[in-house]
Structure 1
């Protein structure tokens, strides 16, 4: 994945500390790529939000996170659509349940007429 990390903010730190921080960001980038590849629509929104925050931090240090960010954003959109469909399903299920007694009554009337 393309990345152009810059660790200017680490210049003020001791060299050993700056190296450790740089390695930490590179490992975090790799871990985020792995985590994002395993994300599912059923995962909690707060997990996806946390990943987005980490990506923002990586981006501040020069990592190109555009490709990584697209998947969590897509999942959030799908979660929104899934939620809307779930609400519609519940509404229709309730309507069907309310009409069942009426259907039963009509079926009984048909049986009587037959």
Structure 2
């Protein structure tokens, strides 16, 4: 097991406007604010997106199974901000749903 200890520091609340790219806007914001580590909680809706819902086959290294969705889907999820090779990186996991259909996975 590995762990690290943190303390609550800065807290931001963002509103992403209709037509803005959720992932791009969020990533630009954390770069501009020099956020190095953190947690993102999000709730809203997406017009469209792509999600990795598991591997194509159960092998290492895995080939991601991508699912595209469009037409307005409700969304809830979380992300982890961590140091990357080119600055802060974000890993998102979410559940999206529309008209009785749901997907859960890694939001791309």
Shorter-chain TM-score bucket reads under 0.3
Taking structure 1 as the reference length, what is the TM-score of the superposition?
0.24
Q: Which structure is richer in relative contact order (CA contacts within 8 A, separation 6 or more)?
A: 1
Q: Which has the higher helix share?
A: 1
